Amino acid sequence: MLVCKGGDCKKRSSKDVRKALKDELRSAGMNGDVRVDSVECLGLCKHGPNAIVYPGGVWYLGLIEDDMPEIVESHLKGGDPVERLTAEFRPRKKRKQ
Ligand code: FES
């Protein structure tokens, strides 16, 4: 799982999100099963904190610490992405015309 630590995501607490993810993996006994890496920017900065889960390349946008238990349980453990948090299901900000 790649978690963005770039400037915009960092401003919105990506460090705390990453810590919550690691804590949750540890509690679930999955510390050795999932590799968590940090990346500098995923390119959707205004929606951050963002992350991508492989295999599958599922994008999560606008994460908060409280999302981590569900992502670990459903996606990382059970293989089912948490659809309401994935990029396709997040409402995008309207473009200015
Ligand atoms: S800073 Fe996180 S996506 Fe760009």
Domains and CATH numbers, the chain: 2-89 (3.40.30.10)
Q: How far is the CA of 80 from the centre of ligand 1 (A)?
A: 24
Instruction: Name residues contacting ligand 1 (CB within 6 A).
Output: 4, 6-9, 41-45, 48, 50
pLDDT for residue 87: 87
> Is the Cβ–Cβ distance between 49 and 85 less than 8 Å?
no
Strand, helix or coil at 83?
helix
Adjacent-strand bridge partners of 58: 53
Q: What is the pTM (predicted TM-score) of this model? A: 0.89
Q: How far is the CA of 41 from the centre of ligand 1 (A)?
A: 4
Rounded Cα–Cα distance for residues 13 and 51 (Å): 13
pLDDT for residue 88: 77
Peptide bond connecting 69 to the previous residue in cis, omega within 30 degrees of 0 = no
- Mean confidence (pLDDT) of the chain: 92
Ligand 1 pocket test, candidate residues 2, 3, 9, most atoms within 8 A of CB = 9
Range scoring the smallest mean pLDDT among 22-26, 37-41, 91-95? 91-95
Mean pLDDT for the stretch of residues 48-59? 96
